[in-house]
Structure 1
Amino acid sequence: MTRMTPVDGHAPPFLLAPFDRRTWRAYGFLWLALLLAPFALAYSLFTVVFMAGVAVTVVGLFVAGGVLLGARGWGSMYRRMAVRFLGVEIAEPAPRTPRKGFWRRLGGMLGDATAWRALLYMVVTFPLALVGFVVSTVFLAVALGSMTHWFWSRWLPLQQASDGTWHRGASFGTDWFVDTPARQLLLVAAGVILFYLWPQVQLLFVGLFRLLAVGLLSPTRASLRVAYAERARAVTVEDADARLRRIERDLHDGTQAHLVAVAMQIGEARELLRDGAGSDRGIDSAELAAVLETAHTSTKDTLAELRELARGIRPPALDAGLAVALETLAARAALPVRVHAVGLDGADLPPSVTAISYFAVAELVANATKHARATGVDVVAGVEPVSDAATGAAVRALVLRVRDDGVGGAAVRAPDASGRGSGLAGLTDRLSGVDGTLRVVSPAGGPTVITVTIPLPAPDARP
């Protein structure tokens, strides 16, 4: 995400612009850009020439690729300069991931788009740095010199006019000298005008630097999409692995233990049958019935646990649609949950969207029960047109709004050093797997309204 607003707010008013720190900070940027411009241009030209010179050797291309990747460091430096001095917020490009394989690694080095864009920035800003610094400095120097001419002109050497008179002061032409009070005052007024025009003229060059920094040093939309997809894929894999671990733990600690108990109880019944058949007293039917009853009860408990595990993997109610699944979830909740499903009956929702929507609502209802101290929850679900964040076009999306009357204060907190974060952060990561978003409005004292938006594919794009 890139913004072109000043760090300290709006642009300074015209009358205060020459004295505003942002104006002088931008002038400092022009100084730094001028000092770095020759070295940046030399690095860029050397990279291109060196790459062309060693193109016939594979080893040389690896070295050239390393030199090219060094442009990433230049780009990072210029990005920090833009943030610090120009008030532009530029997102960091995605880190480079080395590819596996000899030729793929080489191709990844030589085709690094971030490095090439940084080189292009270094080349095109060279003349801009020269012209911007010279024009800005000339405006500022002439303005300050004109305003203070009345003071320092007394030390200027005498000059003779064409009529033979002698004058001391700045001359315009051959016979017009600034050496009278009226002319000194006129020059001061001209200096004041130039001093107030200086920030506006400088702003033109600074604006060009901002545009180039945003256009060439920020990540492209395609790279952001790739990074987002890779992150979503990693989150999906981690979520699936965590789910499998939870199922394995539940099976090991619960179901397996109960099955072992059932096996022991059946073994005990078998021993009773064998001992009774070989004794004169016969089989103790009461004791045998008690053992079998215990085994029967344990078997029913195990079946119930297995049903709960299966329901956690994919609730059977989802087969009847999301609206029915949400109603079933509301009926099993620990506090009153009111579900309002609008337009879901005829909506052809992908199975992945239906499943993640169900589990999202389940987690939000559980959070309201555990943490919000709510007395009731309202769930509104429906298909609505929303604006696509990338293109701005209207797209269909499944929108879920979960509102509780609890104490409020809910927030998406990133994991800390120990890896612990809020459940909402984990839900945000899981929603990223289907390009979904989560928005939280939870003032202190409540109510809390959490909106989940999941874009839906176009009907003709469904496989």
Structure 2
Amino acid sequence: MTTMTQPESAPPVRPAPHRAPRGAVVTAPFRTRTWSEYGYLWLALFLAPFGLAYTVTTVALTAGLAVTVAGLWAGGGLVAGARGWGALHRGLMRQALGADIAEPPPFRLGRGFWRGLGSLIADSTGWRALLFLIVSFPVAVAGFVVSTVFVCAALGALTYPVWYRWLPLQQAADGTWHRGAAFGDWFLDTPERLALAVAAGVLLLFLWPWMMRLFTALMRVLALALLGPTRGALRVAELRASRAGAVEDADARLRRIERDLHDGTQARLVAVAMQVDEARDHLADGEPALASGLLDTAHASALETLAELREIARGIHPAALDSGLAVALRTLAARAPLPVTVDVAPGVEQPRLAPAVESIAYYTVAELVTNAAKHAAADVVTVRVERHSGTLRLQVRDDGRGGAVVVGDGAGERTGLAGLTERVRAVDGAFDLASPAGGPTVVTVTLPTSTRP
């Protein structure tokens, strides 16, 4: 079966949540991830004041220049410029925390003075980045302070038996002198108390990574909520990709029809016209036998041309669809180059599906059957059609070699399955491919019914 190119604008897939390996509690203070997160808190603290200052400047400048329309361009530029802060924090989280946050849609400057100004001032991605700079400021400060206090206290307690001897002498209430940390009249200077300090240091050291991870997780949540694309933005991007894919698919079909008409049908019609002209010349010269032979040849060519035209017309809109999707699929199965079993559940066409949905369903099954025969070396194909909860569900299963994969090479090449995916997504459908090596290959397509009124 052919491979499928994944659309570039498909919504990005977020990585699976991190799972701590076995023994992570014991090795947590010494793991690279822990120190990477601590380094991220240092960078976040360094950037937090500058981000807050940028946010305050943007809000103050935009509000102050609101009375001058032209001055709003400066405030709008700062709002759109906040996208750079968002990109910076996404990059830091990707490198230090391993959080791959999808980028929001690119900025589009409106045409004209007012539309351009409105697109800057109303840039939701920029405002959300400014909100992140505000709410992340206290989180970055608290995270750095708490984590630093924990690790410093832990290291200080662990090494306390070494350096406590250099502390100044202090007199207790009973007149005795002591060296060491004092908690009231209680001094850490006996072997038992030194061991207690070391134990407290060990406890703090192993608590430190998890305490720090609370703050990095909170920063990650804030970034996902404010620096990534919104559901509406993802939906718009998906619709744009679907529309572009539908336009490309329609253009490719038109070009294919034009090529078939030009290279096949038109050439045959020209040949028929030439043969008729020759037959007319032979009749004028008194050679009826030669004329009859040429007319027979022209007649056969005309019949072949009609057959080609029927095939082209069937590629535009199969005549079998006029009788419904079930009839069309059974007709397709009868003409298939391998055995195809069609199972249409009762009520699939009650009420009748919209013509666009029927056409997409038909061509999807036709393409998958062709792929199973040509590329998967399948012996049997099973097609199951169901309808429930306002959706039409197609499942095409073959017993071929399998191994079909989604290839996102970004080279712009489109395969048959890629075209099917775009066509399905153009009507807000879903295309799911499961094809392990060795088979079987199962393709499940879900389409909205969009029934006729």
Q: 1:168-187 counterparts in 2 under 5 A?
A: 168-173=179-184, 175-187=185-197
Instruction: Choose which of 87, 110, 127 in structure 2 pairs with 1:116.
Output: 127
The 3-state SS of whatever aligns with 2:407 is coil
Aligned-residue offset at 1:151: 0.8
- Asked if residue 409 in structure 1 is aligned to residue 395 in structure 2, the reply is no
The 3-state SS of whatever aligns with 2:329 is helix
State the alpha-carbon separation in 2 of the partners of residues 414 and 44 from structure 1. Answer: 38
The one-letter code matched in structure 1 to 2:440 is P
- Asked if residue 144 in structure 1 is aligned to residue 175 in structure 2, the reply is no
State the alpha-carbon separation in 1 of the partners of residues 26 and 305 from structure 2. Answer: 80
State the alpha-carbon separation in 2 of the partners of residues 2 and 128 from structure 1. Answer: 27
Aligned residue number for residue 228 of structure 1: 238
- Asked if residue 365 in structure 1 is aligned to residue 369 in structure 2, the reply is yes
Aligned-residue offset at 1:223: 0.9
Tell whether the 8 Å contact from 1:156 to 1:169 is kept in structure 2 after alignment: yes
- Asked if residue 85 in structure 1 is aligned to residue 80 in structure 2, the reply is no
State the alpha-carbon separation in 2 of the partners of residues 6 and 137 from structure 1. Answer: 26
State the alpha-carbon separation in 2 of the partners of residues 101 and 362 from structure 1. Answer: 48
TM-score (norm 2): 0.91
Aligned residue number for residue 33 of structure 2: 22
Aligned-residue offset at 1:342: 1.0
Tell whether the 8 Å contact from 1:335 to 1:376 is kept in structure 2 after alignment: yes
Aligned-residue offset at 1:102: 2.8
Tell whether the 8 Å contact from 1:2 to 1:89 is kept in structure 2 after alignment: no
- Asked if residue 43 in structure 1 is aligned to residue 54 in structure 2, the reply is yes
State the alpha-carbon separation in 1 of the partners of residues 91 and 288 from structure 2. Answer: 85
Q: 1:308-347 counterparts in 2 under 5 A?
A: 308-343=311-346, 344-347=348-351
Aligned residue number for residue 205 of structure 1: 215
Runs of 4+ with >4 A deviation = 1-13
The one-letter code matched in structure 2 to 1:407 is R
Tell whether the 8 Å contact from 1:408 to 1:448 is kept in structure 2 after alignment: yes
Aligned-residue offset at 1:178: 1.1
State the alpha-carbon separation in 2 of the partners of residues 136 and 409 from structure 1. Answer: 49
The 3-state SS of whatever aligns with 1:104 is helix
User: Closer, same or farther in 2 for the Cα pair 1:123/1:149, shift >3 Å?
Assistant: same
Instruction: Choose which of 135, 159, 166 in structure 2 pairs with 1:155.
Output: 166
Aligned residue number for residue 280 of structure 2: 270
Aligned-residue offset at 1:272: 2.7
Instruction: Choose which of 68, 76, 86 in structure 2 pairs with 1:57.
Output: 68
Aligned-residue offset at 1:135: 1.2
Instruction: Choose which of 427, 430, 438 in structure 1 pairs with 2:431.
Output: 438
State the alpha-carbon separation in 1 of the partners of residues 126 and 141 from structure 2. Answer: 23
The one-letter code matched in structure 2 to 1:225 is R
State the alpha-carbon separation in 1 of the partners of residues 267 and 13 from structure 2. Answer: 55
User: Closer, same or farther in 2 for the Cα pair 1:227/1:31, shift >3 Å?
Assistant: same
The one-letter code matched in structure 2 to 1:334 is P
Q: Percent identity?
A: 58
RMSD: 2.1
State the alpha-carbon separation in 1 of the partners of residues 20 and 242 from structure 2. Answer: 34
Deviates more, 1:72-81 or 1:305-314: 72-81
State the alpha-carbon separation in 2 of the partners of residues 4 and 295 from structure 1. Answer: 65
User: Closer, same or farther in 2 for the Cα pair 1:11/1:108, shift >3 Å?
Assistant: farther
Aligned-residue offset at 1:163: 4.0
State the alpha-carbon separation in 1 of the partners of residues 121 and 338 from structure 2. Answer: 59
User: Closer, same or farther in 2 for the Cα pair 1:364/1:4, shift >3 Å?
Assistant: closer
Measured against aligned partners, the alpha-carbon deviations of 1:417-449 in whole angstroms (never above 9, x if no partner) come to: 3x3354322221221101222222222222211
User: Closer, same or farther in 2 for the Cα pair 1:133/1:213, shift >3 Å?
Assistant: same
Aligned-residue offset at 1:306: 1.0
Aligned-residue offset at 1:149: 0.4
The 3-state SS of whatever aligns with 1:435 is coil
Aligned-residue offset at 1:160: 3.1
Aligned residue number for residue 79 of structure 2: 68
The 3-state SS of whatever aligns with 2:180 is coil
Tell whether the 8 Å contact from 1:26 to 1:85 is kept in structure 2 after alignment: yes
Structure 1 gap segments, 5+ residues each: 277-282, 385-394
User: Closer, same or farther in 2 for the Cα pair 1:245/1:132, shift >3 Å?
Assistant: same
Tell whether the 8 Å contact from 1:140 to 1:198 is kept in structure 2 after alignment: yes
State the alpha-carbon separation in 1 of the partners of residues 20 and 302 from structure 2. Answer: 68
State the alpha-carbon separation in 2 of the partners of residues 62 and 10 from structure 1. Answer: 51
Aligned residue number for residue 248 of structure 1: 258
Q: Aligned pairs, how many?
A: 441
Deviates more, 1:329-338 or 1:151-160: 151-160
Measured against aligned partners, the alpha-carbon deviations of 1:164-213 in whole angstroms (never above 9, x if no partner) come to: 4332211212x322111111111112222222322332233223212211
State the alpha-carbon separation in 2 of the partners of residues 103 and 441 from structure 1. Answer: 50
Aligned residue number for residue 360 of structure 2: 356
- Asked if residue 447 in structure 1 is aligned to residue 434 in structure 2, the reply is no
Aligned-residue offset at 1:257: 0.9
Measured against aligned partners, the alpha-carbon deviations of 1:87-116 in whole angstroms (never above 9, x if no partner) come to: 433222112233333322221121111111
Aligned-residue offset at 1:4: 8.0
- Asked if residue 303 in structure 1 is aligned to residue 306 in structure 2, the reply is yes
Tell whether the 8 Å contact from 1:318 to 1:354 is kept in structure 2 after alignment: yes
The 3-state SS of whatever aligns with 1:59 is coil
The 3-state SS of whatever aligns with 1:100 is coil
Tell whether the 8 Å contact from 2:325 to 2:362 is kept in structure 1 after alignment: yes
Tell whether the 8 Å contact from 2:357 to 2:448 is kept in structure 1 after alignment: no
**Greater RCO, CA 8 A, separation 6+:** 2
State the alpha-carbon separation in 1 of the partners of residues 341 and 13 from structure 2. Answer: 40
The one-letter code matched in structure 1 to 2:249 is D
Aligned residue number for residue 294 of structure 1: 297
Aligned-residue offset at 1:138: 0.8
User: Closer, same or farther in 2 for the Cα pair 1:415/1:245, shift >3 Å?
Assistant: farther
